[in-house]
Structures are given as structure tokens and as C-alpha cells.
Chain A
């Protein structure tokens, strides 16, 4: 057991599973000797060689397309897309090919592949190093979408994703890469896909969140406790597709007041899906309208990034509204 940051936990997860399973391969831009722009693959080419951790041309659709071919033929590729903002050239391969292969082949051909990609704001990256595109992908049947928020979960969910028989988009909140350390077990362990994690207990209201918004929600819950002596539950969804719908509904029924928090723009975002789920199946338990706290419906700005990103202040405001309704 050692104290690791999230990016170290990702690295440790990759290393641990590669030591046990020689069909696991890493590929992407700068993942080789440089170890990736965030150092998530540092030291892996040195340990496993260029056959198993290799640099590719600057070709996102090629990276994912070749990854699909490797997966069709017995490998477990982990493709890195350097920033999630660069994933769109590969959108076709992810959405039309990887996600549909099992279905369109009646189960004859499958794609056990992971696409890892750092996402989200908070690093002064402007329009093209900051986006949160989870909704585009969670909308795609056949694809799983996983977003960790802690070092422990990052390693365990990543290993589960690599061992999963279906393609997984593994989105890493880069704002949390080095935000804090926690104890991470050595070697291979898994965290179940499709389970939520209760971060803070409470029953006055519930905040659903994921990725880099989890610490923001936690801070908002702490301030509400301080100012109003009310316990607000924080639930980290972790696996956006498939979603643990029953756990989400249960928390809403227990708390009766709901805020959904996301970094992405609001319109047609994943928070809207949670709101619709609650409207369809838990409306009788709701004591206030569901509030969404989100990025603005604008491209991701640069200088005003801190106003674009939801912070504890904005989350508190929404929680107060549902509590006072």
C-alpha cells in the first residue's frame, strides 16, 4: 500500500495489469519513451518494450481503428487520446465501429478495448484542452463510459475496464491528476463497473456528480453543513454507462431533494438524463424540482474558466434552492 496521486494510480494500474496479462498493449501519441504528456505511461515502454507500449502517428482515428483491429484479434489494447478534445477524429471509430461490433456481428466479433483520455477544465487549457464530452459517448449503445474521481477508483476502475469484454471510454479528470494522494493497494484489484459510490452521507438532499466535480460537491456539502447544519449526501456515479439506476433512484427517494452537477454544458448533458430518470421514476418522492449545476452552453472559455466551471459557491446556491423550495 502506498500513497499515490490519480495519475500515479493510473500508471500503477496499467503496469499491474500488463505484468499479469501480456495481451494488454498501450498505444497513442507520446505514450512511449516520454511517458505521455501527463506522465500516465511513464516507464512502461522501458519495462514492457516497444511492442507493448508504443508511440503512434498523430492520427486519432488510426489509433482507435488499429486498436479495434488488435482487439478483434485477441489483444486488449488501451488507446490513449492525449486530450479528450482531440477524440473527435476517432468519434466514428468509437461510435460506429467499436460500439457496434458485437451487435452487428451477432456476437461473433467483439472489441475488448479501452480508450483512455484526460478530460475537463481547470488547467488553463482553453477551448481545446478542457472539454467534458461524456454525454456524446454515453448516448452510444455498446459503449461503456467510466470516470473515476479518486486514485483508488482510478486504478480499480481502469483494471476493470481493461478486463471488460466490451469497449470502454475511460475519462480521466485531469484537474484531479495531482490534486491529492490516497492509499492505493499494490497489484491487480478491480472496482465493479456500474456501481455508484457514496462520498458523503446525508439525507437532506443529494448531489449526483462524477469526475472533477466530486470534490466540488463535497466542499459544497461541507459548507452547507457548516452554515445550515444540514447533511447533504454526495453520490459519485463513476460509471455513466451503464448507470446504476436503482442506486440513483434510491438516493433520490431517501433524500427527496436533488442537485445534479456536471462540468459539461447543460443542454442535452448527462445531468439531463439523470433529471429525466427521476422525473419518470421518482417524481412521487421529490419535494423540490431537480436542479442542474453545469458549465454554460458556450464553448469552453480560457480567461473566464473559473466562472465557467461549477464551483462550491454555485453548487451551494442550487442546494439552498432545493432545500428551501
Chain B
């Protein structure tokens, strides 16, 4: 346990953070607990997933600037928190994500082509082009669909966990949110109900300091987000979220407690949003470059790479080639996605209900008739503001 300096203007104050890795990554702190640390395979899985997210961020941002993808929610700087925690969950666990955890679906086995198809919203998108980009889902890896209304996915995780509990399954639900969503109704009702029901849920707040332009100091007057757990009657912990090992460890401990019928835990992984809120946001309007530079020097990927090098695992697993492998896989998926057309007009009224009711079938017939007689719909001119 060490005390963080107030290195974010956005921090509500100083508070103790749990750490495992040294800041330079070259080894583990002597004071670090030894339980629930990732083994060899998990370490490599986490590093590869972190690299994948970084490569995707860079590539998708370029595609967005080229006008080929409408929107991207970037995770740059938060890869350790996202993938260190994401590595904990087993295939039969469920992961309820927010904006920046899509990489966890890939980490759990979602195909890259499916991920990119969603970013394009094309006919191969499993969501049939209905969501904005960056709203990933993948049923095959128990990664449900989330909405842009923040915090609403948290009670869903409690319910899905309560179903596991009732069937006597040894599984857990991960419930991710950002720091902004800790102020939402969903956060409050989910933590309260999970604790009362002793539901097997791990709440993971990835605190990147900013909810669009609102800093954590204006989000809460609590000493830290982790302390909020206490009032709900569950354990809470604040962790250095740029430390992949500490992120893994704290979440693994919480998951073990949940599997052991010990109820939910709140884990806050403190990190930093290096980029804007999204591809449409200009953060220079509201925050200081100095703060960003400070955090750029604490890049979680560099830190993890230094750790893997210090243990020899980096050389042993030939990690040097990974970046170009991932770039090639992303490029292939992008080339393919660009050739796939939009979902058919008929799909507009599918999946509203299991069976389309009469009035909807009539509306589709009408839309098809107009398209046949008057041609394609006019283009939409507006741009997404955030």
C-alpha cells in the first residue's frame, strides 16, 4: 500500500492505492501481496490484449478522421485496468461493459472481424447496424449489449448474477462503469441490491478522471470512489489501474469472494484518459496539457512490457512480433468490412419483437414501396457532437 500524490487536478483528494508493480515496471514491489497474481499465460494474455486495444485505438481513430467510421471511444492509457481486470473472468462468467471495455470481448474470444463489422455498422454487424459504433456485444463470450445511458447496465449484472446464484452455478458477473456513472441511479441501485441479495458481482469502476469534461473533483465529494462501497455493506478497494498486476489481483480477489458466496465487491481502478472522451471531443478546451504529459510518461503498456522483460517472458514468448501481427489482423478485418454493404432495409423492423406485429409489417411494406418508387433515402448531414 502506498499513497498517491495528487497528480490529477481531477482528483477529489489523495487516497491510498493498492499496487503490485514498481512504477518503472521492473519488478514487483516487496510490499505487494502474493495471492491472486496472474500466472505466465495470463500475463501474456493481458499484454497481448493491451497491445490489441492500443493498435485498435490508433487505427480506428484514423478511420474516424477519414470519415469511414462515425465514432470511436478510445481506451488509450487505460489498457492495464481494462485487460488486467478482464483477464480474471472465466468463459462462463458474464461481462457487462461500458464505453471503453470492448477489448475485453476480444480478449474473451470475440472474432476481430465481428468487432470491426460493428464499428462499420454493416450487414455483418451482430447488432445489424442499430447501435452507434463502440457499443460491442458478443453472446458467444457472454458479453451483453450495453446502452449509451450510463450506469443502466449495472443492475443487469446483478440480475444475471442472481440467476447464476439461483441455479447454484459457480459463476460471477463483472459490472464495469466509469467514474461518471458512479453518480447514476443504476450504480446506486445495483450496489445496494447486489449487497442485499449477496449477488456474485464484481463492480469494476475504471476511473479515468474525467466524465467527458467533468473532473472527478466535481463528480463526488467522497474521499475516493472505492470508499463508496462501505455504505452499501461491501468491501471496496482503490487500485493503481495503470498496474495490470494490481488490477488483476484486486479483481481476482473480488471474483473469488463472489464465487465463494461472499457477495459483491467494488474495485476502483484509477487510471487516466489520455485522449478525448471520444473521437469527437477536444479535451484541450477543459484540461491542462501538463496533466496529460504527466500520465503519458506512465504508460501502462510500457510498464507492463518492462515487467515482462524483467522476467524474461517477453523474450521467451517472442512478444516483439505481436504488434505487427495485430496490425495485420486489424487491417485484414478493415479491408473486409469496407466491402460489406449496409444491413437491408427490411431489417429495420426485425427484432423489435420476436414476431413483427401487423402495424410494423405494414410500415416496412410502405418504406419498401417508397424506396422502390422514389429511390434511396436522403443522406443524414449532422455530426455527432461528443
> Could you tell me which A residues sit within 8 Å of B by CB distance?
25, 51, 56-57, 59, 61-62, 64-75, 77, 89, 92-93, 96-97, 100-110, 141-142, 144, 164-166, 194, 242-243, 245-246
Tell me the B144-196 residues at the A interface (CB within 8 Å).
144-145, 147, 149, 152, 154-164, 166-167, 173, 185-186, 188-190, 192-193, 196
The contact of A65 among B158, B351, B354, B357, by CB within 8 Å, is B158
Say yes or no: B163 contacts A73, CB within 8 Å: yes
Say yes or no: A96 contacts B147, CB within 8 Å: yes
Say yes or no: B157 contacts A102, CB within 8 Å: no
Say yes or no: A108 contacts B166, CB within 8 Å: no
Stretch at the interface among B5-13, B131-139, B209-217: B131-139
Known: A96-B147, A105-B139, A106-B126. 18 other contacts (CB 8 A): A57-B193, A59-B192, A59-B193, A65-B189, A66-B158, A68-B155, A69-B162, A69-B163, A70-B159, A92-B149, A96-B152, A97-B149, A101-B145, A102-B351, A104-B130, A106-B125, A141-B352, A242-B359
Say yes or no: B351 contacts A66, CB within 8 Å: no
The contact of B159 among A57, A71, A107, A243, by CB within 8 Å, is A71
Interface assignment of B358: CB less than 8 Å from any CB of chain A: yes
Say yes or no: B189 contacts A142, CB within 8 Å: no
Q: What string of 1s and 0s marks CB contacts (under 8 Å) between B295-317 and chain A? A: 00000000000000000000000
Question: Which residue among A97, A141, A246 has the maximum number of chain B CB atoms within 10 Å of its CB?
Answer: A97
Which residues of chain B have C-beta atoms less than 8 A from A166's C-beta? 353-354
Closest to A65 in B: B155
A74 to B169 CA separation, bound complex (whole angstroms): 13
User: Can you list 23 residue pairs at the A/B interface with Cβ under 8 Å?
Assistant: A56-B196, A57-B189, A61-B189, A62-B158, A62-B190, A65-B154, A65-B186, A65-B190, A66-B162, A68-B159, A69-B156, A69-B158, A93-B152, A97-B156, A105-B351, A106-B126, A108-B137, A141-B352, A142-B353, A144-B353, A242-B353, A242-B360, A245-B359
Which residues of chain B have C-beta atoms less than 8 A from A102's C-beta? 351-354
The contact of B358 among A73, A74, A242, by CB within 8 Å, is A242
Say yes or no: B162 contacts A70, CB within 8 Å: yes
Q: What string of 1s and 0s marks CB contacts (under 8 Å) between B59-97 and chain A? A: 000000000000000000000000000000000001000
Which residues of chain A have C-beta atoms less than 8 A from B291's C-beta? none
A71 to B163 CA separation, bound complex (whole angstroms): 8
> Interface range on chain B: under 10, 10 to 19, 20 to 34, or 35 or more?
35 or more
Report the number of A-B residue pairs with Cβ-Cβ less than 8 Å: 147
A100 to B158 CA separation, bound complex (whole angstroms): 19
Whether A61 contacts B186 in the complex (CB less than 8 A), given A69-B163, A72-B160, A142-B352, comes out as: yes
Which residues of chain A have C-beta atoms less than 8 A from B360's C-beta? 242
Closest to A72 in B: B160
Say yes or no: B127 contacts A106, CB within 8 Å: yes
Say yes or no: A92 contacts B354, CB within 8 Å: no
Which residues of chain A have C-beta atoms less than 8 A from B131's C-beta? 104
Say yes or no: A69 contacts B157, CB within 8 Å: yes
Say yes or no: A105 contacts B359, CB within 8 Å: no
A103 to B135 CA separation, bound complex (whole angstroms): 13
Shortest CB distance A166–B (Å): 5
Shortest CB distance B102–A (Å): 14
Question: Which residue among B158, B197, B350, B352 has the maximum number of chain A CB atoms within 10 Å of its CB?
Answer: B352
Whether A69 contacts B139 in the complex (CB less than 8 A), given A106-B125, A142-B353, comes out as: no
Interface assignment of B36: CB less than 8 Å from any CB of chain A: no
A64 to B189 CA separation, bound complex (whole angstroms): 10
Shortest CB distance B183–A (Å): 14
A58 to B12 CA separation, bound complex (whole angstroms): 30
Closest to B147 in A: A96
Say yes or no: A73 contacts B145, CB within 8 Å: no
Interface assignment of B22: CB less than 8 Å from any CB of chain A: no
Which residues of chain B have C-beta atoms less than 8 A from A62's C-beta? 155, 158, 189-190, 192-193
Interface assignment of B128: CB less than 8 Å from any CB of chain A: yes
Say yes or no: A72 contacts B186, CB within 8 Å: no
Question: Which residue among A64, A66, A71, A144 has the maximum number of chain B CB atoms within 10 Å of its CB?
Answer: A66
Say yes or no: B159 contacts A89, CB within 8 Å: no
A166 to B353 CA separation, bound complex (whole angstroms): 6
Say yes or no: B354 contacts A165, CB within 8 Å: yes
A165 to B161 CA separation, bound complex (whole angstroms): 21
Task: State the 10 A-B residue pairs at the shortest beta-carbon distance, nearest first.
Answer: A69-B159, A65-B155, A62-B189, A242-B357, A73-B163, A105-B145, A69-B156, A66-B159, A73-B160, A70-B159
A17 to B43 CA separation, bound complex (whole angstroms): 49
Closest to A111 in B: B156
The contact of B351 among A68, A93, A107, A246, by CB within 8 Å, is A107
Which residues of chain B have C-beta atoms less than 8 A from A245's C-beta? 358-359
Closest to A71 in B: B159
A226 to B137 CA separation, bound complex (whole angstroms): 62
A70 to B152 CA separation, bound complex (whole angstroms): 14
Tell me the B338-382 residues at the A interface (CB within 8 Å).
350-354, 357-360
A93 to B217 CA separation, bound complex (whole angstroms): 28
A64 to B152 CA separation, bound complex (whole angstroms): 10
A105 to B157 CA separation, bound complex (whole angstroms): 16
Which residues of chain A have C-beta atoms less than 8 A from B145's C-beta? 101, 104-105, 108-109
Question: Which residue among A61, A64, A106, A166 has the maximum number of chain B CB atoms within 10 Å of its CB?
Answer: A106
Say yes or no: B147 contacts A73, CB within 8 Å: no
The contact of B137 among A66, A69, A105, A246, by CB within 8 Å, is A105
A108 to B135 CA separation, bound complex (whole angstroms): 14
Say yes or no: A93 contacts B155, CB within 8 Å: yes
Shortest CB distance A100–B (Å): 7
The contact of A77 among B149, B159, B196, B354, by CB within 8 Å, is B159
A54 to B52 CA separation, bound complex (whole angstroms): 44
Whether A61 contacts B144 in the complex (CB less than 8 A), given A73-B160, A109-B137, comes out as: no
Question: Which residue among A62, A93, A102, A103 has the maximum number of chain B CB atoms within 10 Å of its CB?
Answer: A62
A109 to B128 CA separation, bound complex (whole angstroms): 13
Say yes or no: B159 contacts A65, CB within 8 Å: yes
Which residues of chain A have C-beta atoms less than 8 A from B155's C-beta? 61-62, 64-66, 68-69, 93
